[in-house]
Amino acid sequence: MSVDLDHIQTVYAEADCLFPEAQVEAAIDRVAAEITEVLASTNPLVYTVMNGGLVFAGKLLTRLNFPLESSYLHATRYRNTTSGGELDWKVPPAQDMKGRTVLIVDDILDEGHTLAAIVDFCKAQGVEQVLTAVLVDKLHDRKARENMKSDFTGLDVEDRYLFGYGMDYQGYWRNAPGIFALKGA
């Protein structure tokens, strides 16, 4: 597969920075404090949703100063494209979660189909409780479930195509130092 790196560079150069790095880091600090208040005494199992949740989870976990078990899962609808498709479980949760408190960490709550499927899977495994944490929640009325919200949310964002801090543009710019929106999208 040939990638037009000039196009990828141009996308970043022309993007609108919605939240600079300092603002994103402050939001992660706040979410970590909220999670600590709720989960510090629960011995939670924390799952990172790959690949998008990797950056947020990496930064978040170092701010959670209490015992926890961490792992990952990989469920996607995007496959490096810009629109969602059918849910694809690449790596399902492997740990026994029965009776545990589970926290699912992801980059974004857009429509929420992937996150809803993961939560449903965890509930079917007999968890004590399942909570979710996302870095950003897109503000629109197309959620998978009515009034769907994450239990812990860093930032509310406008309904645009985003990248940075784990969110990608065609597989690139997950590493962008802030949250950016495509120009005109």
Question: Which residues does 141 contact at the CB level (< 8 Å), separation at least 6?
Answer: none
pTM of the model: 0.91
> Between 4 and 86, whose confidence is greater?
4
pLDDT at 82: 46
Q: What angle do CA 94, 49, 54 make, to 5 degrees?
A: 120
Assigned CATH topology for domain 21-181: Rossmann fold (3.40.50)
End-to-end CA distance of the chain: 25
Residues 132, 115: contact at Cβ < 8 Å?
Answer: yes
Helix (H) or strand (E) holding 55: helix 53-61
Q: Find, among 39, 164, 64, the residue nearest to 108 by Cα.
A: 164
- The residue count of the chain comes to 185
Check whether 111 has a pLDDT greater than 50: yes
Q: What is the three-class DSSP state of 174?
A: coil
pLDDT digits (tens, 9 = 90+) for 27-81: 999 999 999 999 999 999 999 999 899 999 999 999 999 999 999 999 876 544 4
